[in-house]
Amino acid sequence: MRRPATPSSFRIRDGPAPSDPFATASADHPEHENNVSARKITVVGAGHVGATAAQRIAEKELAREVVMIDIAEGIPQGKGLDQWESAPIEGFDSRIIGSQSYDDAAGSDIFVVTAGIARKPGMSRDDLLKTNASIVESVSKEIARVAPDSIIIMVSNPLDVMCSVAMKASGFPRERVIGMAGILDTARYRSFIALELDVSVEDIQALVLGGHGDTMVPLLSTTSVGGIPLTHFLDDDRIEALIERTRKGGAEIVGHLKTGSAYYAPSAGAVQMVEAIVKHKRRILPCAAYLDGEYGYEGFFLGVPCKLGEGGLLDIIELDLSEEEASALAHSANAVRETMSTLDGASE
């Protein structure tokens, strides 16, 4: 069963949508050409994740202007200038600027929110809760002030809860607040399978649902290698080991870095979402979406298969899960709701 998301009035460019959703690009519908770009995309937070995301957006020329905002004076300006100076070498014309003021982000089509404190060794995502909730609330109110028709892609952790904070603070509908988590978790899962089997990552198909954390749910039923079920290649013990490594993927990187957390893969995941929206690609990607009855849940964000395109969230795809998968998703949903309850209790 599929529950369509409510259509959004947001469009990257002015003009009517094509009557045939599978029609090829034409002069009548320039917004659907492969080289389409937004007018302005803003990245909030000029740390490792934010700066890397801004660079990727510029190199792909997904916007004519890329803005980086950070409270640290000089950091976004310096990084933005450095990135712009790479343009003649990399061959892109997207202008990059840094600022402390949200006024420079006015009219942005999309905001990628990476602001917040970084996770340290031994720190759970829930430890980040109170501080990052305050930061995301402030950021979301500023976004609503300067760009009330924009789309928010949330990257800050704890991801599922920060999405709820952003949706409440901004007043945006669920179509325009989406979290980047499942793409990252799925990429880690696929990368570990590729290493285990010594095959190309391009031949690994997989899907990870649920909350972004230790309760994430890799779906074995959708995992294949070149269309061949993973169970053909690996026994249950090896598969479980790969799933467990996926669940601990972020912590594994934190353990190596000591003073930081992952940023190459998270930024790539966020930019994949940006590209799907800007180019109206209608990609089916695992993202954190606000549920309104899908999978039997409502009132919070959870990782589910989403169709992304012009306007943000176009659709949520409901899968027929096995009893074991449904149980694991319920466990993950309960973990997200518990974290939400912790935040609600702290704010009382």
Whether residues 166 and 202 share a domain: the answer is no
In a domain, 272, yes or no: no
**One domain for residues 320 and 286:** yes
Tell me the whole-structure pTM to 2 decimals: 0.89
**Cis peptide bond N-terminal to 286, omega within 30:** no
* Residues 217, 297 within the same domain: yes
Give the CATH number for residue 304: 3.90.110.10
> Looking at the structure, do residues 49 and 193 belong to the same domain, yes or no?
no
- 97 and 215 fall within a common domain: no
151-154 and 177-179 strand pairing = parallel
How many domains does the structure of the chain reveal?
A: 2
Name the catalytic one among 212, 256, 280, 331.
212
pLDDT at residue 342 in the model:
86
For residue 124, what pLDDT is reported?
64
Residues 325 and 232 placed together within one structural domain of the fold: yes
> Residue 25 has what pLDDT?
42
Alpha helix positions (H), 147-263? 159-170, 182-197, 236-247, 249-257
Is residue 202, in this structure, part of any structural domain at all? yes
Q: 166, 181, 196: which is the final residue of a domain?
A: 181
Q: How confident is the model at residue 345, as a pLDDT? A: 67
Residue 22 lies in a domain: no
| Other beta carbons less than 10 A from residue 182's beta carbon | 28
182 closest CA partner among 203, 221, 151, 213 = 213
In the prediction, which pLDDT does 126 show? Answer: 63
Residues 137 and 196 in one domain: no
Boundary of a domain, candidates 141, 166, 181: 181
Q: Note the pLDDT of residue 15.
A: 39
Closest CA to 243 of 230, 226, 228: 230
The confidence score (pLDDT) of residue 333 equals 97
Tell me if 12 is assigned to some domain. Answer: no
Tokens found for residue 288: 């954190």
Instruction: Provide the residue-wise pLDDT of the chain in tens; the chain has 348 residues.
Output: 455 555 444 444 443 343 443 343 444 444 444 567 899 999 999 999 999 999 999 999 999 999 999 999 999 999 999 999 999 999 999 999 999 999 999 999 999 999 998 766 666 656 678 889 999 999 999 999 999 999 999 999 889 999 999 999 999 999 999 999 999 999 999 999 999 999 999 999 999 999 988 899 999 999 999 999 999 999 999 999 999 999 999 999 989 998 888 999 999 999 999 999 999 999 999 999 999 999 999 999 999 999 999 999 999 999 999 999 999 999 999 999 999 998 886 565
- pLDDT attached to residue 227: 97
Same domain, 125 and 194: no
Given 129, 164, 181, the domain boundary residue is 181
1 part of a folded domain:
no
List 66's β-bridge partners, or say none.
Answer: 41, 96
214 and 304 in a single domain? The answer is: yes
Tell me, yes or no, whether 140 lies in a domain: yes
Q: Please report the pLDDT score of residue 36 as a whole number.
A: 73
* pLDDT value of residue 98: 98
Q: Give the residue carrying structure tokens 């096995």.
A: 322
Asked if 161 and 227 sit in the same domain, the reply is no
pLDDT at residue 346, rounded to an integer: 57
Q: What pLDDT score does 321 carry?
A: 96
Show the domain range for 303.
183-265+281-347
Asked if 212 is an active-site residue, the reply is: yes
The answer to whether residues 103 and 206 belong to one domain is no
Is the CB of residue 163 less than 8 Å from the CB of residue 170? no
Question: Is 18 contained in some domain?
Answer: no
CATH number for the domain spanning 62: value is 3.40.50.720
> Are 257 and 141 in a shared domain?
no
Write out pLDDT tens, residues 111-140. Answer: 999 999 876 666 665 667 888 999 999 999
* Residue 250 counted as domain residue: yes
